[in-house]
Structure 1
Amino acid sequence: MKALVLFACLLASVAGSSQAEEKPSRPNILVILADDCTHSDLSFHGGENAKTPNLDAFAKQGTVFERAYVSMAMCAPCRSEFYSGRLPIRNGCAWNQAASRPGTRSMPHYLGELGYRVGLAGKTHIKPATVYPFEEVSGFDENCVREPTLPHSLDGVKRFISRDAAQPFCLVVALTEPHVPWVMGDAGAYPPRSIKLPPNLADTPRTRQDFGRYLAEITYMDGQVGEILKALEDAKLDSNTLVVFSSEQGAQFPGNKWTNYDTGLHTSIVARWPGVVPAGRRTPALVQYADVLPTFIELAGGKPDAAVFDGSSFASVLRGASDKHREFTYGMHNNYPEGPPYPIRSISDGEWRYIRNLTPERTYIEKHLMGRTEHNPYWGSWVFTATENPRHLHLVERFLHRPSEELYHTSEDRFEMKNLAADPAHAEIKARLAKELDRHLADQLDPGVPLDTPAASEAANKLSPLYPGKP
């Protein structure tokens, strides 16, 4: 009899232990977005300069996605893609400063229907409110070009995440660093002469000075990340919260933001969920911002509809069950109103990148980068030194004048400095990527050149011959 009692107690103990260790099926979700941060400038992606102790520790606690991409290297389009699960043409925000098409549904709709509270703190840069009805959470500056950024407070975040223990939450904290102007943080921690500039930037004293100020903002942003994670820990919510960090698109240097190069479209994604997402792991799975919302929906207990989204769930990758997701990621750029029209389309398989410049006869101009000298004085130093420095001349000409086709072996040429499009040895690779890009553009009903015009931009939220799109 005693043996039976002991055996029953043992079973109860094991069952209780199993239940205690079992993870709830629906996590809280916390997203932390940086602003205009080139992924390769972060140390856990190979960056050699920026000091990011909080992100370095966070990366070791979760899974680092080595091949994650946005579809447009501009704030409004990539955030609209992230929140809607639809690529720019389908959600309507295919230009910077544009709005998504009325009727588009997004994260607050889908997760709200699954019982989540869905909030947003900090930068928005998405519209209209009917498409993105996030609960407003106070504490972080919404204006990414304010000089300086307003002081931040964790009070709103703490209230939101702790408000109702019975209801799961999804909170996006959208930081405004390291977006220009680079005025936050301690630039003195980055002496210009000690900086190791990436090879796609011209090495001028002004570039080094401004790059140091940019690095200081990355470190300032890293401090904010640390404070947010500490607030989650203090609330004892870290064990059942999926935390996702992303760096958004590349920084405001030539060849990064507003381009289809890897340093523009490649983003950092790091995910942590203790006991579910493997720690200390790096995955080569190819993912895109449009995949994030379907992933959240699946983790929240829903079933993302493949007919609605351009993305698909990579929950199996998060759980460590797979290192494969997409076969291709797609990129595009419409330059108006950031400058005169200059449409670009691209595709990557994670190893190779194929870029198609639709109007190569034109000169590429980005007015913020090349014209606003109070934010970007380094561009003038590139042009001024190009007379005597052949490498600087090459970088200037590479930025202003582009061929109809570009092909880069990105896995071996990280900064995509050698265009292999005319090399017969790689003709088969180029043809394969070009064929898939054509298929994708047809699927998206992308008209190409007519899309990057003032008329199309003004008709962004209307279905018309200039702006076709799937309902």
Structure 2
Amino acid sequence: MFKRIHKDFKFLLLALGVLSVLGFKSIQSKAPAEKAAPPNVIFVLADQWRSDAVGYAGNNEVITPNLDKLAKESLVFENAVTVMAVCAPWRASFLTGQYPLTNGVFYNDKPLPNEALTLAEIYKEKGYQTGYIGKWHLNGHARDEHPFSARDKPVPKDRRQGFDYWKVREVTHDYNNSYYFDENDEKQFWKGYDAFPQTDSAISYIKRNKENPFLMMLSWGPPHNPYHTAPEEYRKLYDPAKITLRDNVPGELRDSARQIIADYYAHITALDKAMGDLLAAVEEEGLSDNTIIVFTSEHGDMLFSKGVLRKQRPYDESIKVPMLIRYPEKLTKPRQITGPINTPDLLPTLLGLSGIKIPDTVEGTDFSKPLMKGTDISNEGALIMLPVPFHEWKFSNGGREFRGIRSERYTYVKDLKGPWLLYDNQTDPFQQKNLVGIPEYKGLQDKMEKVLQARLKQTNDKFLPADDYMTQWNYLYDDKDSLRNDNYLMINR
């Protein structure tokens, strides 16, 4: 009897073994996969950092070891193009995924409407913790207030566009005497060079919220001018006499350009140190694989190329910015992305990477699928614009309304008078030969005009004079000198 039971037991074990190979494995394969945890998002934004001012882009003089290391682990966007090369319009376009004429922020210090659906509101609805540290520049001022009056005031809670953790000042460029307002509108001071304690605050936020999905936006003020205010230890790293200039810096300005660029690079190296601290903290907390890290800037700086400073202009020094995206979980192959990506495209692409449905209010393009598949962006070009000249490049010093396309190779720009600029950026990287009106380039000009007109139609942009948009949005020019003079050409409408 015992032998029979033993024999039956052995048979049962044998049968179970067969089932484990043939059956159980099949059943196991059909079990639902564990749902992946939502990725954290850390978005680091610098102000006025142009695309060639990083080591990984081939600049051998600027010191950016941490960003260079990050670039080796990231998608490197060679043609990240700001839709409008000035602060507030970029920020509103990024947060909403819309073009400036849609959300109304096409002029600095004008308010982003409360009704706008923004980055933080979208992520917050999906259960994310949300935090913002640094420069905001989206609260704006009322029509009857002094133009810059809101820059030193707290941003009301209902104007924070979905961000809960809050250490923010509307605008400041006094980086060594910098204050902010917290969630309760209490005024606090950053100690020393503000980018360093701001980054430390972001690190503290990350550590406290690592058990939940979070969205953290860290917004530095530098390397925006004033150029000479970086910490002394970083300024000592650069000898102006050894700075190499771009070919399009005029001879009479080259000494001034070297000094300014040396100071500009000092800010950049200080920020690179802060970026290194942030990346180290993400690694130490074990968050690297499932965290999307974005580094970019609002716009560039001419730095005396073509004889001018700052931004707003349609040249590469102004419109092109550095951009890196690292997300090891889904972007497993670091590589160069050459297709142009525009400011409104950033929000939908982030949402796509995060597995979040893109709202109908978003106008930009989601490029997450080709990026995750390991292919490049397919795009005829990024839209660039200046609906209203103001502040540093107003009518009185040559500012003009323009619309244009920056493709992977070409730049084409129109003003209200007609075609204005056409550059082959491959053969003419310093944009010194304008091809507009040259017969042999007529086919290229016509092609770029067609691309521009299609984009304007797509965005419902009628390309009107500045005054029309100011009237439409009930805005006032912040400076009487911004007004068009009597000699400015008005087209028939």
**What TM-score, normalized by structure 2, do the two folds share?**
0.76
1:350 aligns with 2:408: yes
Per-residue deviation, 1:250:
0.6
| Contact 1:304-1:312 at 8 Å conserved across structures | no
Residue 77 of structure 1: aligned partner: 89
Deviations 1:273-311 (A, max 9, x none): 124213431122321121111122223332214x42221
Per-residue deviation, 1:236:
1.8
Q: Which residue identity does 1:58 align to in structure 2?
A: L
1:167 aligns with 2:212: yes
Pair 111,454 (structure 1): closer, same or farther in 2 beyond 3 Å: closer
Residue 122 of structure 2: aligned partner: 110
| Contact 2:136-2:169 at 8 Å conserved across structures | no
Q: Which residue identity does 1:55 align to in structure 2?
A: L
Residue 145 of structure 2: aligned partner: none
Moved more, 121-130 or 177-186: 121-130
Q: Which residue identity does 2:86 align to in structure 1?
A: M
1:261 aligns with 2:315: yes
CA distance in 1, matches of 2:362, 2:278: 30
Over aligned residues, Cα RMSD in angstroms? Answer: 3.3
Matches within 5 A, 1:60-71: 60-71=72-83
Pair 211,155 (structure 1): closer, same or farther in 2 beyond 3 Å: closer
Pair 154,431 (structure 1): closer, same or farther in 2 beyond 3 Å: closer
CA distance in 2, matches of 1:178, 1:237: 28
Residue 163 of structure 2: aligned partner: 134
| Contact 2:104-2:473 at 8 Å conserved across structures | no
Deviations 1:231-258 (A, max 9, x none): 2222221221011111331125326611
SS of alignment partner, residue 340 of structure 2: strand
2:225 to 160, 169, 180: 180
Residue 450 of structure 1: aligned partner: 465
1:311 to 364, 367, 375: 364
Per-residue deviation, 1:4:
6.5
CA distance in 1, matches of 2:272, 2:50: 14
Residue 158 of structure 1: aligned partner: 203
Q: Which protein has the larger Cα radius of gyration, Structure 1 or Structure 2?
A: 2
Matches within 5 A, 1:402-421: 404-421=419-436
| Contact 2:416-2:465 at 8 Å conserved across structures | no
* Contiguous gaps of at least 5 residues in structure 1: 360-402, 462-471
Residue 323 of structure 1: aligned partner: 376
| Contact 2:130-2:165 at 8 Å conserved across structures | no
* Contiguous gaps of at least 5 residues in structure 2: 1-12, 141-157, 177-192, 477-493
| Contact 1:137-1:156 at 8 Å conserved across structures | no
Residue 194 of structure 1: aligned partner: 242
Pair 22,60 (structure 1): closer, same or farther in 2 beyond 3 Å: farther
| Contact 1:86-1:311 at 8 Å conserved across structures | yes
Per-residue deviation, 1:329:
0.9
Deviations 1:414-457 (A, max 9, x none): 22121111221111111121123233334434343432579449
SS of alignment partner, residue 295 of structure 2: strand
Q: Which residue identity does 1:125 align to in structure 2?
A: H
| Contact 2:352-2:369 at 8 Å conserved across structures | no
Residue 449 of structure 2: aligned partner: 434
% of aligned pairs identical? 27
Residue 173 of structure 2: aligned partner: 145
Q: Which residue identity does 2:132 align to in structure 1?
A: L
Residue 188 of structure 2: aligned partner: none
1:236 to 282, 286, 289: 286
Pair 135,208 (structure 1): closer, same or farther in 2 beyond 3 Å: same
